[in-house]
Amino acid sequence: MIFEQVAVGTFQNFAYIVGDETTKKAAIIDPAWEVDKLQEECDHLGLKVAYVINTHSHHDHVEGNEKVAKRNGAKVVMHQTSPVRKDLAVKDGDIIELGSVRIKVIHTPGHCPDHICLLADGKLLTGDALFVGECGRTDLSGGDPGAMYDSLFQKLMILDDKIEVYPGHDYGPRTSSTIGEERRNNYTLKNRTKEEFLRFMAEP
């Protein structure tokens, strides 16, 4: 699998390029702010951008969707509850295929209702659900700390320790991590009951 993390814009966003080595079919995940840079990288790698996939509908993750879609004839893929224009609506457990690369959709609401994580070839794109050393905020419109608890502990922390974590923002001490490292070091993932987690998230 071809995989690149690309820093874009002034909000420390990460966009990602995922591609299939044989067919050169690719997806850009969360294209925003510096679409030309993402396009140039795909062109340089000889990739054909078939999909735009968004981890969630916040502006700083979807801002470049239409430009990428139009330029490449790519389809926009988002969770079925997303209010943003899409060609393909996905739900938990769906698989997006890029040649031999299989991208699994994991619905992880909490930061916002339409948030998904994407798992491909041992790499987990965690958007604004999980950062290196932090979890996403739940105090924005559509945020839900109870849903965040379920997403983190029932959807992500059940994954293998070796799975690599690639967040939607560069907020941590490193640009990527693993499920095992986050399980051990991320203070938001300490063993807590749901009530304890809700109290923790309500603290300033």
Using CB under 5 A, list all residues that contact Fe ion.
Answer: 58, 128
Nearer to Fe ion, 171 or 200 (CB): 171
| Sequence-distant (≥ 6) Cβ neighbours of residue 107 within 8 angstroms | 79, 91, 92, 115, 116, 151, 155
> What 3-state DSSP class applies to 76?
strand
Distance CA 92, CA 104 (A): 8
Instruction: Please state the closest distance from residue 73 (CB atom) to Fe ion, in A.
Output: 27
Instruction: Please state the closest distance from residue 82 (CB atom) to Fe ion, in A.
Output: 12
Nearer to Fe ion, 58 or 107 (CB): 58
> What 3-state DSSP class applies to 183?
helix
Which of 95, 125, 124, 92 is closest to 109 using CA atoms? 92
Nearer to Fe ion, 58 or 123 (CB): 58
Instruction: Please state the closest distance from residue 111 (CB atom) to Fe ion, in A.
Output: 6
Nearer to Fe ion, 58 or 79 (CB): 58
User: Which amino acid is it at 203?
Assistant: E
Instruction: Please state the closest distance from residue 56 (CB atom) to Fe ion, in A.
Output: 6
Residue closest to Fe ion, measured at CB = 58
